[in-house]
Amino acid sequence: MKRSTDPYAVAADMLRHTPQSRPVPGRETEMVPNNAGGYVFPIPPLQFLHRFLVLGTSSGTYYVSRHEHTDEALQSLNALFNSDLGEDAVAMIMRVSVEGRAPKRIPTLFALACAYCSPRLPVRQAAAAALFPTVRTQSDLMTFLSYVTKMRGWGRLLRDSVGNWYLNRSVPQLAYQVTKYRNRSGWTTADVLRCAKPVPKSKEQSQVLRWAVGKLPEPDVSIEPIIQAVENIVFSHATFLDPWKMPTTLNLIKEHRLTREMLPSEWLAHPVIWNALLPHMPLTAMIRNLGKMTSIGLLDNAPGNGAVEMVIGALHNKAYLHRSRIHPFNVLVAMSIYEQGHGDKGNLTWRPVTKIVDALDSAFYDTFANVEPIDAQVMIALDVSASMTWQGLCGAESMTPRRASTALALVLQSSAPQNIVTAFANGPAGAMPYVSISPRQRLTDAIQAVEKTSSQYPFCGTDCALPMQYALANRIELDAFVILTDNETWAGDIHPTQALANYRVAMNRPNAKLIVIAMTSTGFTIADPKDKRTLDVVGFDTSVPTVLENFLRE
């Protein structure tokens, strides 16, 4: 429809059709420009923290570099921990970590370090209390210390909480940590213990900590078996290839459930070592090393390969997947890298085992919480604009926000069987293409289908109002719009909130909902915070299917 040239008519029409380059009339103080210049809503501080914990800022975005993105996040985090919401923020950090809802640990550790630097004592005390449940491994602890010691010095609160991190563990757990993670992020176990100065609660604890700093064992106190096994491994290092020593070495690995970090690095070129490690290898380590185990010949396509069957059995075991708290995003990245036959870095190559690729594909869906199918008409709209192709999500170079959103759309399709999937960027509202993808497809096939569709929009801007406009133009009756986007919308001549309001009125569906799934950690959203029928969630939080189900069921 041709727009009027009458300035009064134009001003009146702006209430319902405002270009995204300008704020909605009457809501100028509630909207802010995003990184692309379009006007959107800022998200509340705790919601920003949630996005940061799950998605991080290490990859930057299309419009800002990773350094700018992280600097902005640091300012927001410091303001949050300095406010009355500081204790709530620490509780969120601990909850996301304990529930395994984020694919990477780095943002969680960085945020906790910021909390330790708050000028508010209750926030620092809350952070100290959260250290033990939040920081799972000594590797995490060393990474945390690499951040916090750049921001502040070693005070009593930090010393005590780090010391208790060691002392509150059982002796076998403590021995496992100090033998597996001996140095990370510029720190060694000895460095940490000398700074924290923990006072052992028992002679057994003292024995473990003495070994960790290189001191001689105390007389008449037994040494933990895993430490003795590591010592025997080191002693037999030079004679590893001796046929007489090999059975003893392999028995030590199996009996004491040693990990690859406890072994000399040159041993990891031998299939026999990986075969001894595999039965008790943690699931996250297993999927991370599939390429390595395939490249050295332990895993192959030959029928009856016992190691392959072991890997497949672990990936098909739903209870084991959930008990291991492995994140679906990490499974997705592992599958993407393994299937391509080479890593994103280095020169390692391999021939993928088809059965393992299939098992990874299945495991991706199984790592999400199971939900009952939703009886609702849903449009799943994928933002395929240029800004969704920028770098890798969560620091994974092979996984752009566009590719990741496609995988997440397949999970949502399982939750809402009555769905249509569309793609959008910028252009006429009536020209949005349907995307033929289904959970019955291989993930990589679905990603290729979306990439093919997105090729129609090279270097296009973003108009997040298009899904609602398209549904109205084609008279599609929907209960909800689910939009997967980076919220960098700017190119439309109407705001998404206005397009949603127009759809509700014209289609007589006043309860039509909008769910915005953020695929990058920016501080913006297209969802109107005053509209109770809109919801903001964070892409690749493991709770997404459950949250959507509850919201749609009201």
The answer to whether 545 touches 368, Cβ cutoff 8 Å, is yes
The pLDDT assigned to 232 comes to 84
H helix or E strand, kind and range, residue 134: helix 121-134
pTM summary value: 0.88
pLDDT: which is higher, 10 or 341: 341
pLDDT reading at 273 higher than 80: yes
Both tokens assigned to 198: 């923990």
The pLDDT assigned to 278 comes to 97
Q: How far apart are CA 475 and CA 51, in angstroms?
A: 34
Give the three-class secondary structure for 299: coil
Residue appearing with tokens 């001689």: 216
Average pLDDT rounded to a whole number, residues 314-331:
91
Q: How far apart are CA 538 and CA 516, in angstroms?
A: 8
Q: CA distances (Å), 425 to each of 251, 319, 386, 447, 459, in order?
A: 58, 40, 8, 17, 9
Conformation bin of residue 395: beta by default, left when phi > 0, alpha when psi is -120 to 50: left
Q: How far is CA 549 from the centre of its chain?
A: 21
The pLDDT assigned to 1 comes to 46
The bridge status of strand 378-383 relative to strand 480-485 is: parallel
Looking at the chain, the whole-number percentage of residues with pLDDT higher than 90 is 58
pLDDT digits over 138-180, tens only? 999 999 999 999 999 999 999 999 999 999 999 999 999 999 9
Average pLDDT rounded to a whole number, residues 219-242:
78
pLDDT reading at 484 higher than 80: yes
The pLDDT assigned to 8 comes to 42
Lowest-confidence segment of 54-58, 115-119, 334-338, 463-467 by average pLDDT: 54-58
pLDDT digits over 532-541, tens only? 999 999 888 8
Q: How far apart are CA 315 and CA 307, in angstroms?
A: 13
DSSP states along 389-436: GSS-GGG-TT--HHHHHHHHHHHHHHH-SSEEEEEESSS-GGGPPB--
pLDDT reading at 69 higher than 80: no
Average pLDDT rounded to a whole number, residues 514-529:
90
pLDDT reading at 80 higher than 90: yes
pLDDT: which is higher, 309 or 518: 309
The pLDDT assigned to 458 comes to 67
Domain ranges of the chain: 7-36+371-553, 45-210, 281-326+328-366
Of the candidate CATH numbers 3.40.50.410, 3.40.190.290, 1.10.3720.10, 3.40.50.150, the domain formed by 7-36+371-553 belongs to 3.40.50.410
pLDDT digits over 383-410, tens only? 988 888 876 677 677 788 888 899 889 8
Average pLDDT rounded to a whole number, residues 543-553:
85
| Summary mean pLDDT of the chain | 88
Looking at the chain, the whole-number percentage of residues with pLDDT higher than 70 is 92
Lowest-confidence segment of 25-34, 217-226, 331-340, 421-430 by average pLDDT: 421-430
The pLDDT assigned to 15 comes to 58
pLDDT digits over 88-143, tens only? 999 999 999 999 889 889 999 999 999 999 999 999 999 999 999 999 999 999 99
